[in-house]
Amino acid sequence: MLNQPISGNDMARFSGPQTFMRLPETNNPEGLDVCLMGVPIDIGTSWRSGTRFGPKQIRQESAMIRPYNLQTGAAPFDSLQIADLGDVPINTFSLSESLKIIEASYDRLNDYSVIPATMGGDHSLTLPILRSAAKKYGPLALVHVDAHADVNDEMFGTRETHGTVFRRAYEEGLLVPELVFQVGLRGTGYTALDFKEPAEWGFNMITAPDIWHKSLTPLGKEIRNGIGDHPCYISYDIDSLDPAYAPGTGTPEIGGLTTPQAMELIRALLGLNIIGFDMVEVSPMFDTSGNTALINLVFQLESLNKEGDTSLNPPLAREILETIEALIENGATLNSRNAEELLNLAIKYNQEALIKPLLLKGVDPNKIHRSSGLTPLMGAIKNADMTSIARILLEHGANPHMRSKNGTHPLTFAATHKRWGIINELISSVFTSS
């Protein structure tokens, strides 16, 4: 049974547990797909303090949000097991000690298949989280949405602050530089080197004026295609938004993103291999309306959305597919459209034993999926390293030249995702057929 937020129809929204969306609180990440964690820290800031109260207000405002998204159809609490792990017990009087505590707190999550979703707190908290994540996944891709690049060498002689995070992460080898995308940068720096140097490292820097008056959906898709399946961390600073929308932050800068742009970007990133994300720099005292915290928690929920059928969690999908397999083995016939959807689900959840029976039943291995725009073969390329599934598809009629809805060739798609085994299968299939 998946955890569900307490409904406002069951308990008034101004009452109940003070957890994220009034979800259960636990100290044990076992069995969770996603855990919410607060990091109430503001001793890494350089202008206006107050982000230590960010996690508390985000949780408070979250009682207003319902679990189903009308616009996207996403229902993350129906597809993911989520709970609130409470706050990291930082040291109020020591930034360096706090960063060590944060890293150790996230290290304990590395033994579990759980994605941490962090509520900040100032941006200094991202560095120890990246240090911990890199121990498990190696150097990471990064989507960093912010008014500031946060690549200073030091601030007042201190090398670990909210403004030095991504220089330290680069120097420590925590990131793949060419897979770093910084979006929404604006404002001023001390010298041109503040912006030139990270570009020379390989960082992709997209300034706010570059995206003024534009939809961010194409940019999000471009970023997603560039990163592919590489483990990716998302860090979303609330000051990326124009202060007209989110005044409750420590270092506001005019000329920022609108809320629709920010939501477009998050939605366009669906499909990335997200291993963690944070929403930082909410400072409630500068926005008594609570809107800044509300925007932040909406972004949290958008980041929880999953590409594809969000109403179906993987364990349940596997159970259904196994039932279908038994029906097929006993001679049941399947509606063509349903069978095609089952083939895509079988690929998505790596149910290799079901692939061949469906193909032998006459399911089209070249049918382009109506939502993803991919053929079953390209679905096998995208979802994971499914060389054996790709081989089965090719052996049973999948066209190695069949392009996706947007015109991408399977070989190009496989090269982008670094699926070397599938590339060999594609090449072998082409030569065999010729």
Q: Do 359 and 395 belong to one domain?
A: yes
Number of compact structural domains in the chain = 2
Question: Cα separation of 172 and 309, whole Å?
Answer: 38
Other CB atoms within a 10 A radius of the CB of residue 318 amount to 17
Q: Do 346 and 285 belong to one domain?
A: no
Beta-bridge partners for 185: 207
Q: Do 265 and 161 belong to one domain?
A: yes
Lowest mean pLDDT among 106-115, 148-157, 168-177, 343-352: 343-352
Supply the CATH number for residue 381's domain: 1.25.40.20
Q: Do 360 and 416 belong to one domain?
A: yes
Task: Spell out where 66-189 has E strands.
Answer: 82-87, 115-120, 140-145, 175-185
Q: What is the CA radius of gyration of the chain?
A: 23
Residue among 92, 95, 175 nearest 140 (CA): 175
Other CB atoms within a 10 A radius of the CB of residue 54 amount to 31
Question: Cα separation of 379 and 405, whole Å?
Answer: 12
Provide the residue type at 289 as one letter. S
Task: Report the pLDDT averaged over residues 48-77.
Answer: 87
The CB-based long-range contact list for 52-55 (8 Å cut-off, 24+ gap) reads: 52/121, 53/283, 53/284, 53/285, 54/119, 54/120, 54/121, 54/280, 54/281, 54/282, 54/283, 54/284, 54/293, 54/296, 55/87, 55/119, 55/120, 55/121
- Residue 327: which domain range? 314-433
Q: What 3-state class would DSSP assign to 321?
A: helix
Q: Do 268 and 380 belong to one domain?
A: no
Domain boundary among 256, 275, 304: 304
| Tens digits of residue pLDDT in 285-312 | 998 787 777 776 666 666 666 543 333 3
Q: Do 218 and 319 belong to one domain?
A: no
Residue 11 falls inside a structural domain: no
Residue 119 falls inside a structural domain: yes
Percent of the chain with pLDDT over 90: 60
The answer on pLDDT for 65 being more than 80 is yes
- Please list, in sequence order, all residues whose beta carbon lies within 8 angstroms of the beta carbon of residue 330, skipping any fewer than 6 positions away: none
